[in-house]
């Protein structure tokens, strides 16, 4: 058990971050090269002003027509992404580990807040899963991989929550927590989770086309 | 259940051209052409769109087909991508000759490329672009609906959409000039006048079926005292169905002749009639194919042109149009150029009572004729009419609040709305801005 723990919390962390960061850079770079080769028109129409206008608009809750049409989904999506991105960076357990290894640390969330955030992420994943199973327009588009991705995202938060509360089997859960976090990181560049890195480009480009060429808003 | 519904649709391919072309194709040819286009003609955009789509279904309610078919998910924008592009990519082109027929129908007749879904996708995926790639693949295989393919051939041969011969074109203009001279004796339709302020360009169906629109435009320009011209040679037609079949090569040839004609006449700009898709071709797509970021010379749509004429006091109106009107915002000049407020200015200046339809402006529902769908002809009339029940409901709501006339500043919208008004028994008139202004302006004695 100890050796597994040492492995996932040692070398495996390095592997995960190298794959995550390297993978993201590789995806962005190769997409950029492909764009220059085949779609270089993108660069001439890209407008920083209108691109940002669109990105910021779509990052503001209820600022677009479609968000107002689906209030439940909007609330859940924003809470989900907010907690998903922030809690791993500011939860005490993570900062304590980093501080132990490198003697650097930063502001952290009160335990209870981190706990609630993890719960919200898992709850949101359940909501997305139910939506995939129940809503015909989502079900139609859903394949097995969509559930796998949901599981990849939910797992680190579910296991983190479990471990924090020291529920039965929490020591194994702790290992699973680290491992599933690493899997999620490595999955980001190579699955549909890559919308994390491509969102600014797809959103920014359609915003540029709508704003700079067509003189119309895209929300 | 959904799969069986899909299969049922496959067995109901209505277009003879699609069936015949597919009958001489092999699965191997289909595979080769798909992979050819995907590898050599698409790149980062298509790849990112397909990789980034998180299958959330939030684009669904943008689509009038989806809303009109009781929210059948196979009509949602992403649902249509799933049945076409996802299949092509997943099977590495190996979709076979049977499936390609249905894919052609989905891309050509169940999507108007209206780009409303682009405003609903949180990630900004341009689904119209994906559908256009599907159309291009189908076109390269010859499985494009017959009627629109014929139109594209007409473009290729005559440089206009309707097989109008060179002498018929000049003849039609002179005929309209004579007709108008009965009303305004000194009225001219100036042909090939070098250095005029603008070249007026129309779409093929105007000389063919709606010649009175050219008459009306001439009267309006005459009343405003404008220095204008029309070309006597091919290049007068700004329309472009090749853009919608995915035949970019023909699109490029047609637009090149159009731009060169304006250059030859040394006009300051092009003013185009009330057409939406032609605007998209001249302003957005044809120019790009030719390597121009924006059109090589200034061009404006009639909405902007009339707006400016009224605002500058060049067109004076005797009275206002009395019957209550509603305004249909055409996708290609609203989502394509943001002319909705200018259109409302013209309505405000020229009509007594204006009743908005909802949704409106850039959120308006498509007419279901655009994107070349009406040009796919009679086999797909019901696809358009049944596929846009939501438009009938939207119009009916405006009618119930008093609207009697629909202003639709786009030819395809006219065609589509006429069918919808007739099929759903809405009994509303449909007019161009040109119709209204022609009636209301002060004409010189």
Segment A142-158 mean pLDDT: 97
- Residue B193's contacts (CB-CB under 8 Å, 6 or more residues apart) are B227, B228, B229, B265
Which CATH number is B324's domain given?
Answer: 3.40.50
Contact between A202 and B48 using a beta-carbon 8 Å cutoff: yes
Segment B276-304 mean pLDDT: 96
Alpha-helical regions (H) of B53-111: 64-68, 77-81, 87-90, 96-109
Segment A130-158 mean pLDDT: 97
Round the average pLDDT of chain A to a whole number and report it: 95
Classify residue B203: in a domain, yes or no.
yes
To the nearest whole Å, the CA of B286 is away from the closest chain A CA by: 14
The Cα B130–Cα B80 span in angstroms is 10
Q: Among A43, A138, A141, which would you mutate to test the B interface (most chain B Cβ atoms within 10 Å of its Cβ)?
A: A141
Contact B141, B184 (CB under 8 A): no
Round the average pLDDT of chain B to a whole number and report it: 95
Contact between A137 and B49 using a beta-carbon 8 Å cutoff: no
Which CATH number is B128's domain given?
Answer: 1.10.1060
Residues B306 and B197 reside in one and the same domain: yes
In chain A, which residues have their Cβ closer than 8 Å to the Cβ of B340? Answer: 216
- Residue B115's contacts (CB-CB under 8 Å, 6 or more residues apart) are B126, B128, B331, B335, B336
The Cα A196–Cα B351 span in angstroms is 49
Q: Which helix (DSSP H) or strand (DSSP E) does residue A136 occupy?
A: helix A136-139
Residues B133 and B18 reside in one and the same domain: yes
Q: Which one of B248, B278, B310 terminates a domain?
A: B310
To the nearest whole Å, the CA of B162 is away from the closest chain A CA by: 29
Looking at residue B8, its pLDDT comes to 45
Looking at residue B13, its pLDDT comes to 86
Residues B188 and B282 reside in one and the same domain: yes
Q: What's the distance, Cα to Cα, between the start and end of chain B in Å?
A: 69
Which tokens in the block code for residue B267? 């006009």
Residues B359 and B286 reside in one and the same domain: no
In this predicted structure, the answer to whether residue B275 has a pLDDT above a threshold of 60 is: yes
The Cα B165–Cα B234 span in angstroms is 9
Residues B297 and B324 reside in one and the same domain: no
Which tokens in the block code for residue B364? 């308006």
Contact B328, B357 (CB under 8 A): yes
Residues B81-120: tens digit of each pLDDT: 999 999 999 999 999 999 999 999 999 999 999 999 999 9
- Give the number of C-alpha atoms closer than 13 A to the C-alpha of residue A201, restricted to the C-beta side: 21
Contact B84, B135 (CB under 8 A): no
In this predicted structure, the answer to whether residue A218 has a pLDDT above a threshold of 60 is: yes
Cα dist from A137 to B3, B9, B386, whole Å: 14, 19, 20
Helix (H, G, I), strand (E, B) or coil at A93: helix
- Give the number of C-alpha atoms closer than 13 A to the C-alpha of residue B361, restricted to the C-beta side: 13
Residues B339 and B383 reside in one and the same domain: yes
Omega into B243 within 30° of 0, i.e. cis? no
In this predicted structure, the answer to whether residue A1 has a pLDDT above a threshold of 80 is: no
Residues B137 and B214 reside in one and the same domain: no
Paired with B199 in beta bridges are B229, B270
Contact between A192 and B51 using a beta-carbon 8 Å cutoff: yes
Residues B131-183: tens digit of each pLDDT: 999 999 999 999 999 999 999 999 999 999 999 999 999 999 999 999 998 89
CA nearest to A143 within chain B? B55
Q: How confident is the model at residue B444 (pLDDT cuts 50, 70, 90)?
A: confident
Classify residue B172: in a domain, yes or no.
yes
The backbone torsions φ and ψ at residue A39, rounded to the nearest 5 degrees and listed phi first, read -130, 40
Q: Which one of B80, B115, B144 terminates a domain?
A: B144
Looking at residue B11, its pLDDT comes to 55
The Cα B337–Cα B279 span in angstroms is 9
Which tokens in the block code for residue B250? 């023909």
Classify residue B218: in a domain, yes or no.
yes
- Residue A41's contacts (CB-CB under 8 Å, 6 or more residues apart) are B288
Contact between B124 and A207 using a beta-carbon 8 Å cutoff: yes
Q: Which of B56, B288, B338 has the CB atom closest to A41's CB atom? A: B288
The distance from CA B289 to its chain's CA centroid, rounded to whole angstroms, is 18
Classify residue B22: in a domain, yes or no.
yes
Contact between B335 and A210 using a beta-carbon 8 Å cutoff: yes
Number of domains in chain B: 3
CA nearest to B201, candidates B243, B258, B158, B242: B258
Segment B33-51 mean pLDDT: 95
Which tokens in the block code for residue A87? 């809690």
Contact B384, B412 (CB under 8 A): no
Sign of CA dihedral A26, A27, A28, A31: positive
Residues B185 and B294 reside in one and the same domain: yes
Q: Which of A54, A137, A206 has the CB atom closest to B57's CB atom? A: A137
The Cα B375–Cα B204 span in angstroms is 13
Contact B170, B191 (CB under 8 A): yes
A37-61 as b/e, with b when 16 or more CB fall inside 10 Å? ebbeebeeebbeebbbbbbebbeee
Looking at residue B9, its pLDDT comes to 52
Q: Which one of B310, B329, B349 terminates a domain?
A: B310
Percent of chain B with pLDDT over 90: 95
- What is the ipTM metric for this complex? 0.94
Residue spans of beta strands (DSSP E) within B208-276: 228-229, 269-272
In chain A, which residues have their Cβ closer than 8 Å to the Cβ of B123? Answer: 195, 198-199, 202-203
Judging by DSSP bridges, how do beta strands B299-301 and B405-407 pair with one another? unpaired
The backbone torsions φ and ψ at residue B406, rounded to the nearest 5 degrees and listed phi first, read -105, 125
Classify residue B334: in a domain, yes or no.
yes
Residues B253 and B271 reside in one and the same domain: yes
- Which strands, in side-by-side order, build the sheet including B228-229? B228-229, B198-201, B269-272, B299-301
Cα dist from B202 to A57, B194, B226, B308, whole Å: 38, 18, 17, 19
**What domains does chain A contain, in order, with CATH numbers?**
2-213 (1.20.950)
Q: Which helix (DSSP H) or strand (DSSP E) does residue B414 occupy?
A: helix B411-423
In chain A, which residues have their Cβ closer than 8 Å to the Cβ of B53? Answer: 192
Paired with B430 in beta bridges are B406
Looking at residue B5, its pLDDT comes to 44
Classify residue B445: in a domain, yes or no.
no
Contact B119, B89 (CB under 8 A): no
Residues B343 and B385 reside in one and the same domain: yes
Helix (H, G, I), strand (E, B) or coil at B325: strand
Burial of A101 (0-12, 13-18, 19+ CB in 10 A): exposed
Contact between B71 and A54 using a beta-carbon 8 Å cutoff: no
- Which strands, in side-by-side order, build the sheet including B429-431? B325-327, B405-407, B429-431
Tell me the pTM. 0.95
Judging by DSSP bridges, how do beta strands B299-301 and B325-327 pair with one another? unpaired
Paired with B354 in beta bridges are B325
Q: What angle do CA B415, B421, B426 make, to 5 degrees?
A: 165
CA nearest to B122 within chain A? A58
DSSP string for A53-102: HHHHHHTSTT-SHHHHH-HHHHHHHHHHHHHHHHHHHH-HHHHHHHHHHH
Percent of chain B with pLDDT over 70: 97
Residues B415 and B430 reside in one and the same domain: yes
Residues B158 and B279 reside in one and the same domain: yes
Q: What angle do CA B61, B64, B69 make, to 5 degrees?
A: 90
The backbone torsions φ and ψ at residue A64, rounded to the nearest 5 degrees and listed phi first, read -120, 155
In this predicted structure, the answer to whether residue B4 has a pLDDT above a threshold of 70 is: no
Classify residue B302: in a domain, yes or no.
yes
DSSP B263: H
Please give the residue range of the domain that contains residue B379: 317-440
Contact between B362 and A135 using a beta-carbon 8 Å cutoff: no
Contact between B362 and A217 using a beta-carbon 8 Å cutoff: yes
CA nearest to B284 within chain A? A213
Classify residue B240: in a domain, yes or no.
yes
Residues B207-228: tens digit of each pLDDT: 999 999 999 999 999 999 999 9
Which tokens in the block code for residue B51? 């990789």
The Cα B404–Cα B427 span in angstroms is 8
Q: What's the distance, Cα to Cα, between the start and end of chain A in Å?
A: 52
In this predicted structure, the answer to whether residue B382 has a pLDDT above a threshold of 60 is: yes
Sign of CA dihedral B345, B230, B149, B381: positive
Contact B367, B99 (CB under 8 A): no
Contact between B54 and A135 using a beta-carbon 8 Å cutoff: no
Q: Which helix (DSSP H) or strand (DSSP E) does residue B327 occupy?
A: strand B325-327
DSSP B352: S
């Amino acid at each position: 058990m100890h050796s597994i723990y040492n492995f996932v919390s040692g070398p495996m962390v390095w592997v995960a971050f190298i794959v995550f960061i390297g993978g993201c850079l590789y995806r962005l770079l190769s997409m950029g090269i492909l764009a220059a080769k085949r779609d270089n028109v993108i660069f001439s129409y890209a407008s920083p002003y209108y691109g940002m206008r669109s990105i910021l608009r779509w990052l503001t809750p209820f600022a677009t027509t479609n968000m107002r049409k689906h209030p439940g989904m909007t609330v859940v999506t924003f809470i989900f992404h907010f907690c998903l991105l922030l809690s791993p960076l500011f939860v005490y357990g993570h900062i304590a580990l980093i501080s132990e290894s490198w003697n650097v640390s930063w502001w952290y969330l009160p335990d209870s807040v981190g706990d609630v955030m993890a719960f919200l992420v898992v709850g949101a994943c359940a909501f997305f899963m139910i939506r995939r199973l129940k809503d015909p327009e989502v079900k139609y588009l859903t394949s097995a991989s969509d559930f796998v991705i949901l599981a990849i995202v939910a797992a680190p938060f579910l296991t983190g929550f479990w471990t924090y509360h020291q529920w039965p089997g929490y020591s194994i859960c702790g290992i699973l927590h680290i491992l599933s976090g690493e899997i999620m990181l490595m999955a980001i560049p190579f699955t549909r989770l890559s919308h994390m890195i491509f969102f600014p480009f797809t959103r920014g480009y359609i915003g540029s086309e709508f704003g700079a060429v067509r003189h119309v808003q895209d929300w | 259940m959904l799969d069986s519904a899909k299969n049922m649709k496959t067995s109901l391919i209505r277009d003879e051209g699609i069936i015949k072309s597919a009958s001489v194709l092999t699965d191997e040819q289909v595979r080769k052409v798909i992979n050819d286009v995907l590898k050599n003609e698409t790149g980062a955009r298509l790849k990112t769109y397909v990789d980034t789509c998180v299958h959330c279904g939030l684009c669904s309610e943008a689509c009038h087909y989806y809303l009109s078919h009781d929210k059948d998910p196979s009509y949602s924008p992403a649902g249509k991508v799933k049945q076409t592009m996802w299949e092509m990519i997943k099977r590495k082109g190996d979709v076979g000759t049977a499936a390609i027929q249905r894919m052609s129908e989905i891309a050509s007749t169940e999507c108007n490329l209206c780009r409303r879904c682009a405003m609903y996708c949180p990630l900004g995926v341009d689904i119209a672009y994906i559908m256009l790639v599907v159309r291009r693949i189908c076109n390269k295989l010859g499985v494009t609906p017959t009627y629109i393919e014929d139109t594209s051939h007409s473009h290729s041969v005559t440089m206009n959409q309707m097989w109008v011969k060179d002498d018929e074109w000049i003849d039609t203009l002179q005929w309209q000039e004579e007709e108008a001279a009965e009303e305004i004796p000194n009225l001219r339709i100036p042909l090939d006048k070098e250095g005029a302020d603008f070249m007026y360009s129309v779409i093929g169906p105007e000389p063919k079926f709606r010649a009175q629109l050219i008459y009306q435009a001439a009267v309006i320009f005459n009343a405003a005292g404008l220095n204008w011209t029309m070309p006597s040679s091919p290049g007068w037609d700004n329309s472009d169905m090749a853009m919608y079949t995915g035949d970019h090569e023909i699109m490029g040839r047609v637009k090149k002749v159009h731009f060169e004609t304006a250059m030859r006449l040394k006009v300051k700009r092009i003013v185009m009639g009330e057409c939406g898709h032609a605007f998209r071709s001249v302003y957005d797509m044809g120019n790009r194919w030719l390597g121009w970021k924006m059109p090589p010379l200034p061009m404006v749509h009639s909405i902007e042109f009339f707006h400016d004429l009224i605002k500058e006091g060049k067109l004076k109106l005797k009275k206002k149009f009395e019957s209550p009107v509603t305004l249909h915002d055409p996708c290609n000049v609203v989502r394509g150029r943001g002319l909705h407020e200018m259109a409302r200015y013209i309505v405000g200046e020229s009509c007594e009572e204006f009743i908005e339809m909802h949704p409106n402006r850039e959120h308006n529902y498509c007419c279901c004729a655009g994107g070349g769908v009406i040009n796919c002809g009679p086999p797909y009339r019901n696809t358009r009419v049944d596929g846009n029940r939501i438009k009938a409901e939207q119009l009916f709501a405006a009618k119930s609040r008093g609207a009697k006339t629909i202003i639709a500043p786009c030819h395809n919208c006219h065609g589509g709305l006429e069918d919808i008004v007739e099929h759903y028994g809405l009994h509303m008139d449909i007019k161009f801005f040109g119709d209204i202004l022609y009636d209301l302006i002060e004409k010189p004695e």
